[in-house]
Chains A and B, each alone.
Chain A
């Protein structure tokens, strides 16, 4: 038998080891495709109208263990007391979207979570004191606070934006849904092409009852708000000033307050991002724009709307600002109470700060001086920890 030369064999072993080292090494990870990140509207929100206010905030514990539960609070107009009115019947860990209708009516949607894949709907006509089920939307609703809208004049028509970027419309019982548009079909229209529509972010109704959709425009300086006029989608967004001509524009929120549509938009991204509000005027396509509010790199964590078109925002830096309505200017609010999830605006009174700590909601009211927050109410929410795990 030929004796193998130790050096030769050793070299072979070394070569094998090199090969194994190569095979076993962790491959270098390439950077993820740096696509444009669409700014998302936070789900903590409040909405006021002539009959009262609604506020939806997440409470409880960790989302990882399904101990985060969305709670709905309502406050009748003229009252300073909030009441827990979370609709029953479905676990709402996925999120809760509330669409105010005429008077004290509202429709709520439970965003599907875990194994639930469709969207249960529920309605109230008395400010949330009693709820009754509507037929479900057999698709997951988009995770945005304006994914559901109720026609404001009282017809009860519903408009929903799904997670697959389809706009679905149904009658008051929600028993039959029909697709009005999708981001793809809307992007193919003339209005969509002008905007370079890349995603839908909000659905709503104009004061006259026309379906509205809003989204993200890839063409800079264009605001993507579209109105359905007799089956044809037309650009309805505000014309933007030259100062925003180079900015990417995203419609974050779209609500109807009284006889006007109010939009909250983001211009630019990252550290250069700023917010501005837009109020529709009596004539089609006529909008009033607010001054911009620089975000200084922080994210929007809540946006709220008052009954007369007022808008309040909270940023990740813990700062808050409010604008009274069309023609107003942003006013910085004093440092928010710890845990403030959203602000609530009323027609006449001061802003409320709704602060969350686990299962306790504390309502803070801004003193008339506008300089300090005063604790006004504490609500202990009977969260059933572990019930969704």
Chain B
């Protein structure tokens, strides 16, 4: 998957520091959002004291939130907040595409990899914005779910949870791996966030559903259907689950758990995983038989809809999930790159909600007493009380009236703040996506920041790739980005040329005011035949402001000396050792910046980042003139 990996170390200190700094700044803004909203709310209540009274009045016609919904809303709210906090781990900004998304997609079909690669590339190009967006969107959804108890805001939180969960399920979990071999409930199928999406959908149900019995009749049986399907899948022959060992190697389940053991974690946890792996290797058939029977029995019992029968089986299901969570999924969130607690906690939450929906008798709706059809709702976020034919415009106007705003509950204010937090993460990411160029932080991570300078560039008189003479003086009036390239270099120089080529394209209308110049750094292969061959190899002929200069060996040696460039013949079949820098020379012939230009891993993301750095520097000098 070509764009997925930026090639940087996941713990790269430059990116980690910048990520922390970005999170800190955005965290302060998030606090400010809550502070301002709180202040505004308190101010309105202070200036409109009458508004306090309706808030104390319970909505007369609204049913109480059923327990099953409370479990889903609070449970998944906490899980989303926890996931958001996990996204703030230092390795996430660089590591998520290459260490989480790519391995997950590796065994999926090509079309899945193509879809996932698009998102992974976007992330690797903008690791700071993407990493921060994941943090704030998930924390925001979590807070929103926790604080918006009822009404449209609460239902909207459920829908947003569905939307974001599906985004994560498709791009982060490669459709939960459902198109990859080895799919098993034990390891998280069909993807933890798909369960978040189901829960979000249930939270988004209208309040009329709260009063009906169908959540109780459908939710747990739905889980039962799913578990029966998973039991069949688990029992399916030829997938390696029935064998603890296959041809001297661990079977499918044992190899999965064995791969979890090296995850950085407390020794006691890894020892449990290792012990279970050993047990499964020795008793693979028995383990799988137990799992198949357990899933099938639980599924069938859930389908019966009989609470007395279901109660002990529900407890067994919870125990099974917890055992799987500890011994097979290894908690899911350890190791510095864990994104969520995997699927078992969400399963427990959904099954608990299903059980509660089954055993709880819905409260009958209270009769609306003494509420006029056009009455202002007690809580604009909770228009359940606004019965009657009022249109949405009328309700909106009523809700935005100052005394209505002053009467909203603190939870609704917090929910609005949570929406602000989501926007805080999403907007910078969306803005970054609008740019096809990678963030310059990647280039800085490879070579450090630009060094500002101010001295006269050494003059030179050389020949371009077409045999025409070029002097530094002839370039006066333009910004010159000057680098030094070996035409027969096998690794870095072609990458640097591509970075210059991309910069040429990014400069667009500024192209005429900028010259992209390279000088040969090979004391053996320095004829124009080599600069021409290099240009053809790298497609540089299409870059109109590209000059690849050479000269006689003494001329080149003088230039190398004047610019402090090493160009050493290395022995025994090595390529020429030469300095990799780019100098930014302003329109007056003065060197203004020195940029380290080792292209590093040479990935699409870092190439784009270096091109952006070149473009930014050139524009900065053009703007300064």
Contact = CB atoms under 8 A, between A and B. Distances in A.
B430 interface: no
B374 interface: no
Interface string B214-228: 100100010011111
A348 interface: no
A79 interface: no
The A interface is mostly helix, strand or loop, or mixed, namely loop
Interface string B70-109: 0000000000000000000000000000000000000000
Interface string B520-540: 001111110110010011000
B524 A17 contact: no
A284 interface: no
A12 B183 CA distance: 18
B229 A387 contact: no
Given A13-B228, A20-B178, A21-B233, A116 B571 contact: no
A54 interface: no
B300 interface: yes
Contacts of B529: 135-136, 175
Max chain B Cβ within 10 angstroms of own Cβ: one of A13, A84, A112: A13
A389 interface: yes
A6 to B, nearest CB: 4
Interface of B: 178-183, 213-214, 217, 221, 224-233, 236, 238-239, 299-300, 303-305, 488-491, 494-495, 522-527, 529-530, 533, 536-537, 569-577
Given A89-B569, A383-B572, A20 B229 contact: yes
27 contacts: A6-B221, A9-B225, A9-B228, A13-B227, A14-B229, A17-B230, A23-B179, A69-B572, A88-B569, A88-B570, A88-B571, A89-B576, A90-B525, A91-B488, A91-B575, A93-B490, A93-B573, A114-B490, A122-B524, A133-B526, A135-B527, A359-B572, A383-B573, A384-B571, A387-B570, A387-B577, A388-B574
A226 to B, nearest CB: 29
A387 B228 contact: no
B305 to A, nearest CB: 7
Contact of A88 (B495, B524, B530): B524
Interface string A78-109: 00000010101111111010000000000000
A388 B490 contact: yes
Given A9-B221, A91-B490, A116-B494, A24 B180 contact: yes
Given A3-B305, A13-B225, A89-B488, A120 B530 contact: yes
A115 B491 contact: yes
Contact of A24 (B183, B217, B231, B523): B183
Contact of B232 (A9, A18, A23, A118): A18
A382 interface: yes
Contact of A114 (B491, B536, B570, B574): B491
Nearest to B498: A115
A389 B491 contact: yes
A110 interface: yes
Contacts of B490: 90-91, 93-94, 112-116, 388
A296 B217 CA distance: 75
B232 A86 contact: no
A317 interface: no
B299 A10 contact: yes
Contact of B571 (A9, A86, A94, A117): A86
A136 B239 contact: no
Max chain A Cβ within 10 angstroms of own Cβ: one of B178, B182, B571: B571
B571 A25 contact: no
Contacts of A93: 490, 573
Contacts of A387: 570, 574-575, 577
Contacts of A94: 490
Contacts of B573: 69-71, 86, 91-93, 96, 383
Contacts of B182: 24
A230 B183 CA distance: 67
Contact of B525 (A3, A70, A133): A133
Contact of A89 (B179, B303, B522): B522
A56 B522 CA distance: 24
Nearest to B181: A26
B232 A133 contact: no
Nearest to A92: B573
Max chain B Cβ within 10 angstroms of own Cβ: one of A16, A20, A66: A20
